[in-house]
Structure 1
């Protein structure tokens, strides 16, 4: 089986049988494209069904030599394993060469976080006298107040906002098109209502974008790149020296909850993590916080 039909069939499998989101399918496709590029560089070119475990190990070594970090290598291995699982399921191969492919050890790096003082400085740096300012304030309040990924923010819909005093939740579509309900606080609700009821109503709205919460001046939904730019600019205006991205606000949301004593399972649910181990990284941050508190305040220190 050649690469083109194998790739096409794999993408169809991911969409129809695994019901993955477009972003996830695109990520898997890019991983497979790297394997194809590696195959094309070899003296004896092989089809995907001719690859052995040794060939796949050679591919991972090649990827590592390109400078990819262990976490990126692990993601690629996950994509390759899914591809060969598909080939095995469809009887294109009789055994799975990726079955014994080892995942590199990943040392978890503690994410950068902002203090509430830093976040307040960023919010204060927004010029709310401008229409974009009201929108950007609402964006920041929602990202930090609900711990959203940047893609979840840009895809947020008006029909998924439940802002009545007796409800106060938003429905978020996360990875794999999985939906979850996330509580939303007063400051975020206040900023959202100003943007939606007073500013957004005066924006020209493109057909098909009527339900999107956050729009640009042309009435289209915001891009992820644009949100990154807004956060970077606000960090600079606030005089913050850290490398800040939208994900920093998500990390800060989780860290502040854990430091405040929130149950880890509740934080997992709000972040939309499938595994509790993904959320447990914030317990390390919490331990550092507790350690510094003991050093500062304990009478024997």
Structure 2
């Protein structure tokens, strides 16, 4: 398996330097290749990434089909395709062993969303008598107002706030940066937290520019944001499995329902491809009928 490790090492460098992907994303790509390596080791098949045939990969696909669901199969195959396409790109292979292997049909999973009323109830449930209340309210407002990923929220810097221009600078996947507009009310809540609570904290070295801090003066973890949101959902008796990403889904859905175009939403969410944004097109037929009757010239 040493030859696999050598190719994987080069592949990681390619993903990091040429593609500019984050370490989390790179690890997911490598995990897919390691799945295949594990199968080869288990079956005692001694073959290099350059030699492996379509038949062997097909055996691997059969082996995982009864263990993981269609969505996970599809993701693993996508990761393997990327690896073998890299080998072709570098001249190690002429063809990919996945060329004729079909990806399982998964359908698109529609993201859970919250109504505006549910978001209002969650934010209203924040206990403002505690210092972290101001922070939590500002965080939820920012998640929903700007459609951020949780990693983008906890990584937000004070120097990223361009309130005079009405924007915040967001560092997303692969360290790609984008500017996202921010509303007046969200600016107000962030400023209140920053001036009334954060300014009195003992900020730890290295976190002087971090916007949202925990009680120890350090950057919040993603897990802590999940916990805050789940506790609020329990508090108001919300019978939905929600997470920070639910606010991002709701941001996109509400914009779309109110007439925003997909391209604008794509830019604000930081999606590289418009097809990723299209998952938010889960509007009911009644709304689509209203759009047709309002905007089509032959209504």
The two structures have a TM-score, normalised by structure 1, of: 0.89
Quote the Cα distance in structure 1 between the aligned partners of 2:224 and 2:70.
Answer: 26
**Partner residue, 2:22:** 21
Q: Secondary structure at the match of 1:210?
A: coil
**What is the CA–CA distance in structure 1 between the aligned matches of 2:212 and 2:243, rounded to whole Å?**
18
Task: Work out which of the residue numbers 182, 202, 205 in structure 2 matches 1:204.
Answer: 202
**Alpha-carbon contact 1:258-1:286 (below 8 Å) kept:** no
Equivalent-residue separation in structure 1 for 2:62 and 2:209 (angstroms): 46
1:245 is aligned, of 243, 246, 271, to 243
The answer as to whether partners of 2:32 and 2:76 remain within 8 angstroms in 1 is: yes
Contact 2:203–2:218 (Cα < 8 Å) also in 1: yes
Distance 1:101 1:157, change over 3 A: farther
What is the distance in 1 between the residues matched to 2:244 and 2:103?
A: 28
Rate the CA distance shift 1:131–1:64 in 2: closer, same or farther, 3 A. farther
Is residue 254 of structure 2 the alignment partner of residue 256 of structure 1? yes
Q: 1:288 to 1:226 in 2, by over 3 A?
A: farther
Distance 1:30 1:259 in 2: 38
Match of 1:7 in 2: 8
Structure 2: gaps spanning 5 or more residues: 293-299
Structure 1: 5+ residue stretches without partners: 295-301
1:81 counterpart SS class? helix
Tell me the secondary structure at the aligned position of residue 181 of structure 1: strand
TM-score for both structures, normalised by structure 2:
0.90
**Structure 2 residue 32 is matched with structure 1 residue 34:** no
C-alpha distance in structure 1 between counterparts of 2:182 and 2:196, whole Å: 20
- Residues 1:169 and 1:186: Cα distance change in structure 2 (over 3 Å): same
The question of whether the paired residues in 1 share the 8 Å contact of 2:70 and 2:104 is answered with no
* Displacement of 1:64: 2.9
After superposition, give the CA deviation of every residue in 1:159-186 in whole Å (9 maximum; x if it has no partner): 111112xx11111112222211111112
Q: Structure 2 CA distance, aligned partners of 1:66 and 1:256? A: 37
Contact kept? 2:70, 2:105, Cα under 8 Å:
no
Q: Is the 8 A contact 2:168 2:179 kept in 1?
A: yes
The secondary structure found in structure 2 opposite 1:182 is: strand
> When the two structures are aligned, how many residues end up with a matched partner?
291
Q: Secondary structure at the match of 1:172?
A: strand
Partner of 1:54: 55
- The 2-side partners of 1:139 and 1:112 are apart by 20
Aligned with residue 268 of structure 2, among 267, 270, 274:
270
